[in-house]
Amino acid sequence: MKDTVIGVDLAKNIFQVHGASRAGEVMFRKKLRRQQFMQFMATQ
């Protein structure tokens, strides 16, 4: 992903992940469990 800002809302079990382009356009929104979050961030 080029020029993407990733915001993370941390919680006990579920992480809300939001990605936006440099222009502010939403690239993705995801609700991930802890293991999914670790895998997702490893690929970014």
pTM: 0.70
User: Where in the chain are the domains?
Assistant: 4-42
Residue 2 has a pLDDT of 67
For residue 30, give the nearest of 21, 3, 1, 41 by alpha carbon.
41
Q: Cite the beta strand spans of 1-42 per DSSP E.
A: 4-9, 14-21, 26-33
Q: Which residue has the higher pLDDT, 40 or 1?
A: 40
pLDDT tens per residue across span 8-31:
998 888 999 999 998 889 999 999
| pLDDT of amino acid 31 | 95
Distance in angstroms (rounded) separating the CA atoms of residues 39 and 37: 5
What tokens were used for 11? 């919680």
Q: What is the pLDDT of residue 29?
A: 94
> Rounded CA gap, 43 and 22, in Å?
20
